Structure 1
């Protein structure tokens, strides 16, 4: 692998943390980063605006009792179905919390062992109690290990030194971005989760493993040890990210269940009121001048659980897709990208 290949070889193919702008930034805010309740409210505002525009253009009308009552009946049935689905999801989440004493102890011991490994790797008395603090500590360990690796190869030949230094520079740049996001976030905000899932530790882990094997004969024992330390820190970050993501999504889905129940009752009542407004044999019981606006308002309230569902599913589905694999398996990377090609028996 020559120096001309280095830029392409060591480029991270993951999300570029903190580098979004324009339409990409707006899309990312709507899909992942924005407060879910605010996103649901914006979706409701869009529905209101759409219905008002269609009404003003004469495309939709609210004077036909039969069509409006059919819509109300559909909304009532849909809301009941949605609430039932949410209850099922909540039961699934709760089932993960129920365990025997043996399983609870195994889970507890695995967490304690992981925290001990993080503390040993970072050289601290104990791992921070908060998940964001744990991630910040591991990120600091990764950056420190990258610095040590760059120093360890300073006296090596030019090809090894330039290649490894460019790799460590990329590691330092991206971990600094993650650290900045973590400093602004808390466990209750999605900023910390977003930073964790967007940091491309899988590529850095893969590149470190490849470089260590590629230059095994040219590396000094100290440089090889620094590679091992960096790989260990990257592996700890991968485990911490999965734990952090799982815990947060449990809280997220539980919150979604609560909000859906809170909105479910007003939603059903609004749909019933829409039908009752048109129940009089002489026509709607509301003045024709304000009838469209009252109907639109009740329809939007009736659709609020659907808006919540859309906003939460957008985030959970995106997080799941971006973290579909654990370790140096990168499904989002094009198989033809990068010159890390290997052939069976190459080292023989």
Structure 2
């Protein structure tokens, strides 16, 4: 199965299996993106779940090992000890570090500038936020938590309760197909909700954990199922059940803007972290690039260590260190771009081939 745009990431929580009801109508979905998409657990872990600093370090080690391996084959190392190869490499890296760091600082300023504005704009932002919180407070009939993970837990718990209310509302129906579909749908919703709540429990904003859990709740497919059931069984459901379906759809619809808000905040947080980290590593990277140019330049580096020419060790290490700002950028942007692509649509729109 392909990935829905609002599918989330893999988790340790158990997953549902896709079932079919009468008429070959697919209702249930698995609880994690990996299971819904049938993608590699390792791939999703590296791109989404793994700590970005660990990914950067792994990329750096891979780059260093590859450089040394290539330099150890045949007489490739001789090119490093003759001419101005070292000077060309590190003078290029020196310019790239300065240019890249300037670009990242500019991006950071753009992110921060979104938080700035005149009083009227700030008042509008505050009013919109409080309107959403008040609406959600009325829906759940209690104060809304301020912690992002608890906020999402409260919302997903509300959808689970309304799914159970829907099951109870149709339990006395004479239509066996309606009862069977609602039972299966409710089991799917509650299973998915339990898995998401478990992932959100104790998650702290600033890491990827909160968004990690939120993305697993494929609310758009659930909204579609509510709309389909209401339309397909319009003659079999009574007015009370119509109200329950409407309230259930409202709870599911609230998940879209709530998740997008959390996603936006995470993107801003991650981009600021990225900017800070690149600034931190740019200083030693500049120092290494300058040292390689000033102390070695076109001069040969004699000697052999562990069967590998010293010039290969030195140039490989220097090239890896000067590449760290770029590797940090790769590790962070790969996650941000992947999440952004999988959450382009808001509401019941399925951009991929899954269950269309």
Provide closer, same or farther for how the CA distance between residues 3 and 199 of structure 1 changes in structure 2, counting only shifts above 3 A.
Answer: closer
- Kept in 1: contact 2:49–2:208 (CA 8 A): yes
Provide closer, same or farther for how the CA distance between residues 18 and 145 of structure 1 changes in structure 2, counting only shifts above 3 A.
Answer: farther
Q: Trace 1:153-232 onto structure 2 (pairs within 5 A).
A: 153-156=170-173, 157-232=175-250
Q: Aligned to 1:306, which of 321, 326, 330?
A: 326
Q: Aligned to 2:145, which of 97, 120, 128?
A: 128
Instruction: State the distance in 1 between where 2:68 and 2:39 align.
Output: 26
CA deviations on 1:203-239 (whole Å, 9 max, x unpaired) are 1111111211221221122221211121111111111
Q: Does 1:70 align with 2:84?
A: no
- Kept in 1: contact 2:285–2:322 (CA 8 A): yes
Shift of 1:18: 7.5
Structure 1: stretches of 5+ with no match in the other structure: 339-348
Question: Which residue of the partner structure matches residue 151 of structure 1?
Answer: 168
Instruction: State the distance in 1 between where 2:287 and 2:172 align.
Output: 75
- Kept in 2: contact 1:142–1:234 (CA 8 A): yes
Q: Aligned to 1:56, which of 66, 72, 94?
A: 72
CA deviations on 1:102-121 (whole Å, 9 max, x unpaired) are 11111101111111122221
Q: Aligned to 2:54, which of 23, 30, 38?
A: 38
Number of equivalences? 329
Q: Trace 1:258-297 onto structure 2 (pairs within 5 A).
A: 258-279=276-297, 283-284=299-300, 286-289=301-304, 290-297=310-317
The secondary structure found in structure 1 opposite 2:320 is helix
Provide closer, same or farther for how the CA distance between residues 306 and 19 of structure 1 changes in structure 2, counting only shifts above 3 A.
Answer: same
- Kept in 1: contact 2:34–2:44 (CA 8 A): no
Question: Which residue of the partner structure matches residue 330 of structure 1?
Answer: 350
Provide closer, same or farther for how the CA distance between residues 237 and 213 of structure 1 changes in structure 2, counting only shifts above 3 A.
Answer: same
Instruction: State the distance in 2 between where 1:186 and 1:106 align.
Output: 28
- Kept in 1: contact 2:302–2:311 (CA 8 A): yes
- Kept in 1: contact 2:84–2:297 (CA 8 A): no
Q: Trace 1:73-152 onto structure 2 (pairs within 5 A).
A: 73-124=91-142, 126-152=143-169
Q: Aligned to 1:10, which of 5, 13, 27?
A: 27
CA deviations on 1:271-301 (whole Å, 9 max, x unpaired) are 1222223336xx33x5433332122211111
Question: Which residue of the partner structure matches residue 344 of structure 1?
Answer: none
- Kept in 2: contact 1:65–1:278 (CA 8 A): no
Shift of 1:333: 3.1
Provide closer, same or farther for how the CA distance between residues 102 and 129 of structure 1 changes in structure 2, counting only shifts above 3 A.
Answer: same
Question: Which residue of the partner structure matches residue 342 of structure 1?
Answer: none
Structure 2: stretches of 5+ with no match in the other structure: 1-19, 305-309
- Kept in 2: contact 1:205–1:328 (CA 8 A): yes
CA deviations on 1:28-83 (whole Å, 9 max, x unpaired) are 11111111111111100111111121122236423124112111111112112211
Give me the CA root mean square deviation: 2.2
- Kept in 2: contact 1:149–1:226 (CA 8 A): yes
Instruction: State the distance in 1 between where 2:321 and 2:278 align.
Output: 12
CA deviations on 1:165-190 (whole Å, 9 max, x unpaired) are 21111111111111111115211221
TM-score computed with the length of structure 2 as normaliser: 0.87
The secondary structure found in structure 1 opposite 2:201 is helix
TM-score computed with the length of structure 1 as normaliser: 0.89
Question: Which residue of the partner structure matches residue 345 of structure 1?
Answer: none
Shift of 1:11: 3.6
- Kept in 2: contact 1:182–1:191 (CA 8 A): yes
Shift of 1:196: 1.3
Runs of 4+ in 1 over 3 A off after TM superposition: 17-23
Instruction: State the distance in 2 between where 1:204 and 1:21 align.
Output: 17
